[in-house]
């Protein structure tokens, strides 16, 4: 297993601590007046999502995590499991609803996603940054309600609710930013 020395520490590094994969989300180099240089790191657990702070001295090293990202495709939902397929090998992977978390709101059959595997097992998935979803149900906009920034809830084809502008009607296709969950634009009528 490869290791990273402190001189190679940087944001985005995937390392293994206590047998679990972590992503280095922040790294600060501190050189006190006397003594060794210090590397203050924030690390996010890639399985549970928690963030920890660790400080390392110059010369320390961390084991690299066996984490790979693959291009996948969402196939279907089966009870509390979501089934995905590796687009290269056609292997199928299941993720629990806890692993998928709020990303279920954006998943449509056949959608391309990025999957993260740890030791060959799926641990998470990321939908594209923007998705287009059909509006199935929303309240009609009030007549004469033309003030800016008037919003209302709308249910889309995945069963999720999003806040949209008042002019959106059932049947419209809207673009949603999956990083923020916010409405971007109307794609069609």
Q: Rounded to the nearest 10 degrees, how much is the dihedral formed by the CA atoms of 12, 15, 20, 24?
A: -30
pLDDT at 161: 93
For residues 89 and 182, what is the distance between their CA atoms, to the nearest angstrom?
34
Predicted confidence (pLDDT) per residue in 127-163, tens digit: 999 999 999 998 876 665 555 678 889 999 999 999 9
pLDDT under 70 in the chain at which residues? Answer: 1, 141-148, 188-189
Given 14, 39, 64, the domain boundary residue is 64
Of the candidates 134, 127, 133, 132, the one whose C-alpha atom is nearest the C-alpha of residue 73 is 127
For residues 85 and 73, what is the distance between their CA atoms, to the nearest angstrom?
5
CATH of residue 37: 2.30.30.30
pLDDT at 90: 92
Q: Tell me, yes or no, whether 108 and 154 share the same domain.
A: no
pLDDT at 31: 85
For residues 172 and 46, what is the distance between their CA atoms, to the nearest angstrom?
36
Q: Tell me, yes or no, whether 120 and 134 share the same domain.
A: no
CATH of residue 134: 2.40.50.140
pLDDT at 143: 60
Given 46, 64, 82, the domain boundary residue is 64
Q: Tell me, yes or no, whether 74 and 94 share the same domain.
A: yes
Q: Tell me, yes or no, whether 55 and 73 share the same domain.
A: no
Q: Tell me, yes or no, whether 15 and 40 share the same domain.
A: yes
Q: Domain range spanning residue 179?
A: 130-188
For residues 158 and 127, what is the distance between their CA atoms, to the nearest angstrom?
13
Total domains, the chain? 3
Given 64, 81, 108, the domain boundary residue is 64
For residues 63 and 54, what is the distance between their CA atoms, to the nearest angstrom?
14
Q: Tell me, yes or no, whether 43 and 73 share the same domain.
A: no
For residues 14 and 12, what is the distance between their CA atoms, to the nearest angstrom?
6
Q: Tell me, yes or no, whether 87 and 117 share the same domain.
A: yes
Q: Tell me, yes or no, whether 58 and 7 share the same domain.
A: yes
Q: Tell me, yes or no, whether 14 and 58 share the same domain.
A: yes
For residues 170 and 98, what is the distance between their CA atoms, to the nearest angstrom?
30
pLDDT at 167: 87
For residues 58 and 63, what is the distance between their CA atoms, to the nearest angstrom?
15
Q: Tell me, yes or no, whether 178 and 143 share the same domain.
A: yes
DSSP 10: -
Q: Tell me, yes or no, whether 72 and 45 share the same domain.
A: no
Predicted confidence (pLDDT) per residue in 105-114, tens digit: 999 999 999 9
pLDDT at 97: 87
């Amino acid at each position: 297993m490869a290791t990273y020395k402190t001189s190679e520490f940087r944001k985005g590094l995937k390392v293994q601590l206590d047998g679990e994969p972590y992503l280095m989300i922040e790294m600060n180099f501190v050189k006190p007046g006397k003594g060794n240089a210090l590397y203050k790191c924030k690390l996010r657990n890639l399985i549970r999502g928690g963030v920890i702070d660790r400080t390392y001295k110059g010369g320390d090293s961390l084991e690299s995590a066996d984490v790979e990202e693959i291009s996948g495709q969402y196939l279907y939902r089966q009870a509390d499991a979501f089934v995905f397929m590796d687009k290269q090998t056609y292997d199928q992977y299941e993720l629990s609803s806890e692993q998928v978390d709020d990303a279920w709101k954006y998943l449509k059959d056949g959608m391309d996603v990025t999957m993260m595997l740890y030791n060959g097992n799926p641990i998470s998935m990321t939908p594209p940054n923007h998705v287009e979803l059909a509006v199935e149900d929303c309240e009609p906009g009030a007549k004469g309600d033309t003030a800016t920034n008037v919003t209302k809830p709308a249910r889309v084809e995945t069963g999720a609710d999003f806040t949209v502008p008042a002019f959106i009607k059932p049947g419209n296709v809207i673009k949603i930013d999956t990083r923020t969950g916010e409405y971007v634009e109307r794609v069609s009528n």
